[in-house]
Amino acid sequence: MTGKGSGRPIDSVSFLPDIASGRRVDTNGLVSASDAVSSTLILSRFVNELQAKLAPVILDFGPAIGANVTFLGEQFGGFKLFVEDLLANLPLPSKPGGEDEPEVTAPRLLYPNEGVDGILCWDVLDYLGSKSGLMLAKEVVRVLRPGGVVLLCHGTETLSASGPTGYEIIDRNSLRYRFRSGVALRSRRVIQSGEVTRLFSSLTITDSILLKSHMREVLLRKPSKLVAAG
């Protein structure tokens, strides 16, 4: 898997006219799973952390969803949003079950060290093998600024779904799941809390909540650098 930089951010100012017109921006074959809305308890805390920063830089590992850009634009006076749909072209394993991983390229993100304030990781790790997940975790730690935060979601039980959903933000406390049509992916694997701790050992888990949907939301923070005395 190769993480490719978008080259330029999705800017809230240039993107909002399309949103204001009422047109739903579906650039990755997303369709509404249903009108049902699911709770999120960590998103508001993620936003609160970033509102303390001036013009935060946010990295979204999901598909581009117009409603999410609108939401983020309403939360921050100024911000930059980069979208990296890491699962869009992920190769399938050669054997069913996902254990036989294809050869992958380390997903080096095209962002400088410590250049991002917040990362929306959603359920990306659920669809990566252990090797790819470790490489991605290292990149997350590399690009995240001290004091920066990551919102991570992962499933806690095996599901029959063949691929991930897009997470459409309704407000600080609710999301709508949207099926990703036309994206062929490996089966979802269950991520244990201990694996999250190991993958992000240099980050601090500040919140971890199990939802009724059997998804776990985690907020991780990169410790601020200590200032040497004298």
Whether residue 7 lies inside any domain: the answer is no
Q: Note down the domain range covering 77.
A: 12-221
Banded pLDDT at 14 (limits 50, 70, 90): very low
Whether 229 maps to a domain, the answer reads: no
> Of 44-53, 67-76, 125-134, 203-212, which range is least confident?
125-134
Q: Does residue 201 belong to any structural domain of this protein? A: yes
Structural tokens at position 133: 């997940």
pLDDT of 230 > 50? The answer is no
Joined together, the tokens standing for residue 226 give 């200590």
**Has residue 227 been placed in a domain?**
no
Separation of alpha carbons 155 and 158, rounded Å: 8
Residue 214 forms part of a structural domain = yes
Quote the number of domains for the chain.
Answer: 1
230 part of a folded domain: no
The pLDDT of residue 96 = 46
Six-digit token string for 154: 């992962």
Higher-confidence residue of 178 and 226: namely 178
Burial zone of 120 (CB within 10 Å; 0-12 exposed, 13-18 middle, 19+ buried): buried
Q: Which residue has the higher pLDDT, 79 or 88?
A: 79
pLDDT of 227 reads: 46
pTM, entire model: 0.79
What is the pLDDT at residue 206?
Answer: 96
Rounded CA-CA distance 41/216 in Å is 10
d(CA 197, CA 189): 17
Nearest alpha carbon to residue 60 among 43, 77, 74: 43
> The domain that contains 163 carries what CATH number?
3.40.50.150
Residue 3 lies in a domain: no
DSSP character for 113? T
Q: Is residue 228 part of a domain?
A: no
CA 17, CA 126: separation in Å to the nearest integer?
A: 34
148 HSE (CA, 13 A, CB side): 22
